[in-house]
């Protein structure tokens, strides 16, 4: 897909971070936008920013973990514009701390958004794209945490590994049916976005009421520091991602230096070695999204 003017883009997690920058980039390219987020205030701000640049933009408050709400998002898209050409399954949240200290609510919340949010988007929108029989593209946001397994990030790592597997399988399935629909897997490292403040969007029914453990407090501090220190902006990641869509490129890694840690992991696997801490290779290389 290399023509964007007049085409329709659907973006989840559009209220901040990557989602907002995807929206603004799409607007600059003349796309019609359907923007979704559970953060109603942030979503409204992005819609106004997109409209301010001259784009047609519709905001649809959506909890991507809810199947019925994603189905409603798909219907709203077709009702408004009659088609969908570019889908960003981008919404994401995270928690930290030792794996055994993560609560059932942590697992339900992170997997609901990070995994089922992507699955719901693929399920609801791919048939619409296939029926159009014209070039279309799906971008699923994972993380380098889907390619590595850094300590203290077990729930987040597991969710992003699932997104990697889901998207690689989606790529193969689309090839089998000879579709004009392509897909990409976005795997960013730390970038200044709202991921460190994701807790603000946690549903009340999935909140924890126990005090944070020492490992969870440490993980939170490390995440905030790493995100604030990211040298690549969300806007730059959006540029890289749209380039990948134009080039029909599957893997979108924003920080190439991380590939050394990825290679180390695969070497551990192929040589049947015990896992190496991915942060031990180069201390300046951080894992996240």
Q: What's the CATH number where 99 sits?
A: 3.40.50.720
CA distance 241 to 163: 17
Q: If we measure between CA atoms, which residue out of 217, 207, 216 comes closest to residue 98?
A: 216
Given this model, what pLDDT does residue 280 score? 80
**What is the mean predicted confidence (pLDDT) over 248-268?**
95
Q: Which residue has the tokens 């070695």?
A: 273
Q: Of residues 81, 156, 171, 251, which has the active-site annotation?
A: 156
Q: Residue-wise over 106-122: b if at least 16 C-beta within 10 A, else e? A: bbbbbbbbbbbbbbbbb
CA distance 57 to 44: 10
Q: Is residue 284 part of a domain?
A: no
Concerning whether 156 is annotated as a catalytic residue, the answer is: yes
Q: Is residue 271 part of a domain?
A: no
- Structure-token pair, residue 92: 């994401």
State the pLDDT confidence band at 288, using cuts at 50, 70 and 90: very low
Length of the chain counted residue by residue? 289
**What is the mean predicted confidence (pLDDT) over 241-256?**
96
Is 218 in a helix, a strand, or coil? helix
Sorted by sequence, the CB contacts under 8 Å of residue 205 that are 6+ apart come out as: none
For the chain, report the end-to-end CA distance as a whole number of angstroms.
Answer: 25
Q: Is 287 a residue whose pLDDT tops 60? A: no
Contact assessment for residue 65 and residue 93, using Cβ atoms and an 8 Å cutoff: no
Q: Is residue 263 part of a domain?
A: no
Specify the number of domains making up the chain: 1
Q: Is residue 262 part of a domain?
A: no
Q: Is residue 225 part of a domain?
A: yes
**What is the mean predicted confidence (pLDDT) over 140-151?**
96
Q: Is 283 a residue whose pLDDT tops 60? A: no
pLDDT above 70: percentage of residues in the chain: 92
Residue 275: phi and psi, rounded to 5, are: -60, 140
Q: Which domain holds residue 170?
A: 8-255
Q: Is 225 a residue whose pLDDT tops 90? A: no
State the pLDDT confidence band at 177, using cuts at 50, 70 and 90: very high
Q: If we measure between CA atoms, which residue out of 185, 167, 134 comes closest to residue 1?
A: 134
């Amino acid at each position: 897909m290399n023509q964007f003017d007049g085409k329709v883009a659907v973006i989840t997690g559009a209220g901040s971070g990557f989602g907002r920058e995807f929206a603004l980039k799409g607007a600059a390219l003349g796309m019609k936008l359907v923007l979704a987020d559970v953060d109603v205030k942030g979503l409204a701000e992005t819609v106004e920013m997109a409209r301010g640049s001259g784009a047609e933009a519709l905001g649809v408050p959506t909890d991507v973990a809810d199947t019925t709400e994603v189905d409603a998002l798909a219907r709203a898209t077709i009702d408004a514009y009659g088609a969908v050409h570019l889908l960003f399954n981008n919404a994401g949240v995270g928690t930290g701390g030792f794996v055994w200290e993560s609560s059932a609510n942590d697992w339900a919340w992170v997997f609901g958004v990070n995994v089922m949010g992507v699955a719901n988007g693929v399920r609801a929108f791919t048939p619409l794209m296939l029926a159009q029989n014209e070039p279309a593209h799906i971008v699923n946001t994972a993380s380098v945490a889907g390619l590595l397994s850094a300590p203290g990030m077990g729930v987040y790592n597991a969710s992003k590994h699932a997104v990697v597997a889901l998207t690689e399988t989606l790529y193969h399935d689309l090839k089998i049916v000879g579709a004009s629909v392509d897909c990409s897997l976005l795997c960013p490292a730390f970038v200044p976005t709202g991921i460190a403040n994701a807790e603000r969007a946690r549903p009340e029914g999935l909140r924890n009421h126990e005090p944070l453990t020492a490992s969870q407090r440490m993980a939170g501090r490390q995440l905030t520091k790493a995100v604030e220190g990211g040298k690549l902006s969300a806007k730059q990641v959006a540029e890289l991602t749209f380039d990948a869509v134009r080039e029909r490129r599957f893997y979108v890694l924003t920080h190439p230096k991380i590939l050394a840690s990825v290679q180390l992991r695969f070497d551990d696997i192929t040589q049947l070695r015990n896992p190496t801490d991915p942060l031990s290779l180069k201390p300046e290389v951080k894992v996240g999204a």
